[in-house]
Amino acid sequence: MITTEAVLASRILIVDDLNSNLRLLDRTLRGEGYSNITSTMEPQEVCSSHAEHRYDIILLDLLMPSMDGFAVMEALRAIEPDGGPLPVLVITAEPKHKLLALKAGARDFVSKPLDFAEVLMRVRNMLEVRLLHLETRRLYEQLLAVQEGQRLLAKSLLDTQHAAEQELIGHQRALARVVRGPERHPDLVSYSAAMQQVVSLALRVAQVDSTVLITGQSGTGKERIARLVHENSTRANGPFIAVNCGAITETLLESELFGHARGAFTGATQDRPGLFEAANGGTLLLDEVGEVSTGMQVKLLRVLQEREVRRVGENRKRNVDVRIIAATNRDLQAGVAAGTFRQDLFYRLNVVALRLPTLRERRDDVLALAQVLLADANRRMKRQVTQISSAAIDRLLRYAWPGNVRELENAMERAVALARGTTVEVEDLPEEVRDPVAAPTLVAGLVRPLEDIEKDYILASLRTNGGNQTLTASQLQIGTATLYRRLKSYGLIEDRTSALKGDDA
């Protein structure tokens, strides 16, 4: 929560070549309650002063004889660490300079002759946005520190827990197959028709030993579906091994998949079986198979056809009994047409195709997935955040989820980390989820007033533009006065005109 006290305590620098303007702006700001104000008529000193004091906002006149405002902003850019808009509010009388100033890095501008009510409004808006950005960054860094500590702790316990966890998982899977039968999978959320169709086809293909190609965007759960196929197949008691083909170079991938003999290359100090041999009797998932080079594609094709591997540096062939499941977020047919993916390998992999829908195509699953992922995050972080507020549910259902299930998982983990009580509130969600700038989604049983949708969209657009009202009004194709009246009607802008007149008197 950004308080008025924090805003009024902000560090302000005024830069103008006219002493009368400096005094007038200083008097106006102090009359509003700002006290930490510095003024200068020497633009050459701005950078050194900002480097020392780190001003929250710089009111900068553009036209000055010794050094114009554009040169000042260019110098400031060199010392700003994040590369974003500068904390600069430009003062100019030239309309053509306004857009140029924004392109040069200024966050906003005011026009001469000055309307001091507008000056105060824009100063406050800029300061609130800046303080909110700093607070968000502080919380994010705090969250990263917590996550790093948890990661190190989990790593120290992993070796001792791994064997016990694997044994427990085996017992749970065997018990689940006995209790629920082959057709129910409560650990896989599939209320939507699109996902039910995928699960149904996956269960059918699991009963035979055909090669499966799983396609879909990143984060849609391709590995989870591959595990579902394996766990419901006759190979369920065998190993399930997944390898990300896109994360390993061609040379290392060949050794990883096929193994190598001692002395095959520098560092090969002993014989080592590959993943095809390790997965013998089970399933091997070739994830991101679309990233494999054409040379490696030939070797994969031979293994799939002959069902035998030859370790790097060895002439002996070894038979392997492995079910292959491939997964990719690429369009392999387009790769075949472009000559980057072999047609014969594509046909060999594409015996049964499973296309995973994006999360926005399975809206009926979003809330149930959120609850499952929330419970999982609670378990990992040892917290008791058990509910999601109705307002937070509304945001979850309206957001497009371009990162799919993985993005939802990250959002739930963040919510558990930041929640103050046992309920996830809107402020616990990521900023892009809290304020989605997108077409509203109509959810069954929930029709929102048009006025509320307009308000949410205007405020989300304003936040996206860093509080820049002029840019926001231009994008919304309304006048700045119209936007000002809207914000005032929402109670976000205080009418200070009468108070200013009283001060001038």
Torsion sign across C-alpha atoms 418, 423, 426, 432: positive
Determine contact, residues 102/109, Cβ cutoff 8 Å.
Answer: yes
> What residue ranges do the domains of the chain occupy?
1-187, 193-356, 361-489
Domain 193-356, CATH among 3.30.70.870, 3.40.50.300, 3.80.10.10, 1.10.3720.10: 3.40.50.300
Which pTM was predicted? 0.51
- Topology match between the domains 1-187 and 193-356: yes
CA pair distance 19, 17, nearest whole angstrom? 6
pLDDT at 263 over 50: yes
HSE-CB at 374 with a 13 A cutoff on CA atoms is 25
What are the structure tokens assigned to 257, written together? 């998949």
What are the tens digits of pLDDT across the range 400-431? 898 999 999 999 999 999 999 999 999 999 98
| Model confidence band, residue 248 (pLDDT cutoffs 50, 70, 90) | confident
Which has more pLDDT, 462 or 370?
A: 370
Instruction: Please tell me the CATH code under which domain 361-489 is placed.
Output: 1.10.8.60
pLDDT at 254 over 80: yes
What are the tens digits of pLDDT across the range 436-481? 654 455 544 556 677 777 887 788 777 767 778 888 888 888 888 8
Q: What is the pLDDT of residue 447?
A: 64
Least confident of 180-189, 312-321, 439-448, 453-462: 180-189
Per-chain mean pLDDT for the chain? 84
CA pair distance 317, 361, nearest whole angstrom? 46
Integer angstrom CA distances of residue 381 from 73, 196, 370, 406: 45, 31, 16, 18
Which has more pLDDT, 437 or 99?
A: 99
The amino acid sitting at 188 is L
Instruction: Please tell me the CATH code under which domain 1-187 is placed.
Output: 3.40.50.2300
Q: What is the pLDDT of residue 323?
A: 94
In sequence order, the β-bridge partners of residue 61 are 91
Average pLDDT over residues 166-191: 50
pLDDT at 253 over 60: yes
Angle between helices 450-464 and 469-476 (to 10 degrees): 130
Determine contact, residues 405/219, Cβ cutoff 8 Å.
Answer: yes
Determine contact, residues 287/222, Cβ cutoff 8 Å.
Answer: yes
Average pLDDT over residues 125-151: 85
| Model confidence band, residue 161 (pLDDT cutoffs 50, 70, 90) | low
What are the structure tokens assigned to 446, written together? 């929930």
Q: Which among 288, 306, 278 is positioned nearest to 213, based on CA atoms?
A: 288
The amino acid sitting at 129 is V
Average pLDDT over residues 158-186: 49
DSSP 356: P
Q: Which among 384, 387, 363 is positioned nearest to 443, based on CA atoms?
A: 363
